[in-house]
Chain A
Amino acid sequence: MSLPAPSLPQSWWRGLSRPQRFMQISARLLPPLGIISAVGLAAGLYLAWAAPPDYQQGLTVKIMFIHVPCAWLSMLCYTMMACSAAGILLWKHPLAAIALKTAAPIGAAFTLLALATGSIWGRPSWGTWWEWGDSRLFSMFILLLLYCGIIALSRAFDNSRTAAYAAAVLTLIGFIDIPIIKFSVEWWNSLHQPASILRKGGIAIAPAILIPLLVMAAAFTMLFFVLQLLAMRNEILRVSLRALQQKLAWEAEPAAVDEPDTIADNGQDRETGL
């Protein structure tokens, strides 16, 4: 008895899960995304340069134009990783494992930048580089540790599937930190100012500061997607290369090396080993 043909969304979803299909789509997406990101960054930098000083913060308000996008992206990246973790645990989606593994170092970089630029802004504004007792600063530091843990865990096992499951579980457990970061300034006393854009009373920033901030945030988001696509493509190439090396070794000495198809787990792609 033959199984019914998959419906269109299912076949599209399955088709997209094939690394070869992802490589084709990402190759088409990368050039326009890169151009949009570069133009956006150039425009954002110009607007940031031209923005007037804040009446309280003075010139250091210009640090906000990079600090805020980095902080947003550190949380966006983790949220995407949590979705990928669900994709690994619920649907065993092969690209979800790659997305989770490759997003962690990028998210860690944005978190590190958010902490570093926040610290540089804090010195002239608060009079201190760092305050351990501050809930926002501490929860962001926990996020950095979570990223480091996920990077370590996704590289700690020889079996890629075990590594993906372990990293997915840690990612989902650590997701509790995202609402804590968001609401920490409301739940506890904090040096950090409360939300100025996504808040009940509407936006509390003057347009002269808001517009450069939004342009920089959009450009940084595009840059994040460029970095993520590049990292995912590299990981697929790395796995393909490893699979090809195993095939070459097996073809040279079949008796000494396991057959490549048995090295890969069941259900993995024969070409990429995924």
Chain B
Amino acid sequence: MTHWQFVILAYAITALVLTGLFARLFIAGRRLRQELRQMEQKRAANRRNHG
């Protein structure tokens, strides 16, 4: 392997891991906020139905 190939390999692994970590946290946050909103709406509807 040439020096350039070692450099590209190191940068590619770093980019992959850090982008993956950020994307995972960002997507999980959006999903959790959505689930929380749905759950709050469900609770509000239950309260209305049961007086």
B29 to chain A, nearest CB (A): 5
Residue from B6, B13, B46 with most neighbouring chain A CB atoms (10 Å): B6
The answer to whether A117 touches B33 (Cβ under 8 A) is no
Say yes or no for A238: interface residue by CB 8 A criterion.
yes
Which residue from B1, B14, B29, B43 sits with its C-beta under 8 Å from A230?
B29
The answer to whether B17 touches A121 (Cβ under 8 A) is no
- How far is A216 from B14 in the complex, measured between Cα atoms in Å? 13
Interface residues on A, range: 35 or more
Chain A residues with CB under 8 Å of B7's CB are 59-60, 62-63
The answer to whether B3 touches A124 (Cβ under 8 A) is yes
The answer to whether A252 touches B18 (Cβ under 8 A) is no
- Interface segment among A106-114, A146-154, A262-270: the answer is A106-114
Interface residues on B, range: 20 to 34
Say yes or no for A116: interface residue by CB 8 A criterion.
yes
Chain A residues with CB under 8 Å of B46's CB are 248, 251-252
B33 to chain A, nearest CB (A): 6
Chain A residues with CB under 8 Å of B13's CB are 113, 116-117, 120
- How far is A66 from B9 in the complex, measured between Cα atoms in Å? 12
- How far is A175 from B35 in the complex, measured between Cα atoms in Å? 37
Specify the chain A residue showing the minimal Cβ separation from B11: A66
The answer to whether A234 touches B29 (Cβ under 8 A) is yes
What 1/0 flags go to B21-37 for Cβ under 8 Å of A? 11001101100110110
- How far is A59 from B2 in the complex, measured between Cα atoms in Å? 10
Which residue from B1, B6, B29 sits with its C-beta under 8 Å from A233?
B29
What 1/0 flags go to A231-259 for Cβ under 8 Å of B? 10110011011001101100110000000
Which residue from A113, A238, A244, A247 sits with its C-beta under 8 Å from B14?
A113
- How far is A112 from B16 in the complex, measured between Cα atoms in Å? 12
- How far is A99 from B40 in the complex, measured between Cα atoms in Å? 26
> Which residues of A, 150-174, contact B by the 8 Å Cβ criterion?
none
Say yes or no for A21: interface residue by CB 8 A criterion.
no
Specify the chain A residue showing the minimal Cβ separation from B26: A230
Specify the chain B residue showing the minimal Cβ separation from A252: B46
- How far is A124 from B7 in the complex, measured between Cα atoms in Å? 11
B37 to chain A, nearest CB (A): 10
- How far is A218 from B43 in the complex, measured between Cα atoms in Å? 45
Binding site for B on A (CB under 8 A): 58-60, 62-63, 66-67, 70, 105-106, 109, 112-113, 116-117, 120-121, 123-124, 223, 226-227, 230-231, 233-234, 237-238, 240-241, 244-245, 247-248, 251-252
7 cross-chain CB contacts under 8 A: A116-B10, A120-B6, A120-B9, A124-B1, A234-B25, A237-B33, A240-B36
Binding site for A on B (CB under 8 A): 1, 3-4, 6-7, 9-11, 13-14, 17-18, 21-22, 25-26, 28-29, 32-33, 35-36, 39-40, 42-43, 46-47, 50
Q: Which 10 interchain pairs have the tightest Cβ spacing?
A: A237-B32, A59-B3, A230-B25, A117-B10, A120-B10, A63-B10, A244-B39, A62-B7, A66-B14, A234-B29
